[in-house]
A and B are shown apart, each in its own frame.
Chain A
């Protein structure tokens, strides 16, 4: 997963600030490459992540993906003067492990398979990831207004969960590719 300068975003105005915050955090602290994703591209990335080919037929990251097909959901509540709610991020566990290892400076593309990360480290680091994204987004959005963040919560979603099967009544959130793996981010607004 090479690191490059990520392109500037072209999503909707609503998602723009969130995308910039995500890009900023990924590039600055996690050394990850972020791209916007159209619906079809996102579906292909999800399909790759959730396919489970026989291990002898794959190698490298595909093998890791086959071993780590589960998704994680990380959320953090925020409270400001003008709005409150929560930011949620869903991502494959493989990506979460890569991000945490990268933050800790203990991995490269080659040796991810050799890195031993405890579940607790993956969950804690993924919580820090959503915390940073939320903080960056709120700082840009609120300017001088102070805000508070809750403690991040990270859960492992059920084995059959897929971001492509989310309820049609809810907006899909922002869908991006991070190091060629899918990531989805939502804002759950409690007050406007």
Chain B
């Protein structure tokens, strides 16, 4: 069960990073928030959303540099959210990181077409997320 299962080219981002965490589990949002806080990357504001629809509302009103999203969620799932992001030019530079229990190759291939930067399968070790975020952010400054 590979943790980092898919990665594509990383776009350049500005610092500090404003993060949006999208997961219907408050526990998982708290876990991801804690891991993000542990990175050496300067973090701006961390926003949270229960589902894709709430995430879009935040994206439309706030500046977000990176989105961490689950796939299986009620109301609007992660795939639908990524599709929305991919269709809007003004969101082209947003980093997209999927954190999902679904590690199937088909699911990974589906989201890879939506310019996902990283696909992380749950369960994950905290350092996997931390290192990925550091690598992505550092790609902007080095």
Q: Which of A106-163 contact B (CB under 8 A)?
A: 120-121, 124-125, 127-128, 131-132, 134-136, 138-140, 142-149, 151
Asked, given contacts A25-B123, A28-B124, A29-B123, whether A100 binds B27 with beta carbons under 8 Å apart, the answer is yes
Say yes or no for B110: interface residue by CB 8 A criterion. Answer: yes
Bound-state Cα–Cα, A25 to B34, Å = 19
Whether B104 lies near A142 (C-beta < 8 A) is yes
Asked, given contacts A124-B27, A125-B27, whether A132 binds B101 with beta carbons under 8 Å apart, the answer is yes
Whether A144 lies near B72 (C-beta < 8 A) is no
User: Quick one: which of B104, B105, B123 has the most chain A CB within 10 A?
Assistant: B123
Bound-state Cα–Cα, A110 to B123, Å = 25
Number of residues of chain A lying within 8 A (CB) of chain B: 32
Whether B122 lies near A29 (C-beta < 8 A) is yes
| A contact face: mostly helix, strand, loop, or mixed | helix
CB contact between B27 and one of A121, A144, A151 (< 8 Å): that residue: A121
Say yes or no for B48: interface residue by CB 8 A criterion. Answer: no
Q: Which of A20-36 contact B (CB under 8 A)?
A: 24-25, 28-30
B93 contacts across to A, CB distance below 8 A:
none
Nearest-CB distance from B55 to chain A (Å)? 17
A55 contacts across to B, CB distance below 8 A:
none
Contact with A along B67-82 (1 / 0, CB 8 A): 0000010100000000
Bound-state Cα–Cα, A145 to B123, Å = 19
**5 interchain pairs (CB within 8 A)?**
A29-B123, A29-B124, A30-B123, A104-B27, A136-B1
Enumerate chain A interface residues (CB-CB to B < 8 A): 24-25, 28-30, 100, 103-105, 120-121, 124-125, 127-128, 131-132, 134-136, 138-140, 142-149, 151
Besides the contacts A28-B124, A29-B124, A136-B103, what 14 more A-B pairs have beta carbons closer than 8 Å?
Answer: A28-B123, A29-B123, A29-B125, A30-B123, A124-B25, A135-B121, A139-B103, A139-B121, A143-B104, A146-B102, A146-B104, A146-B107, A147-B102, A149-B72
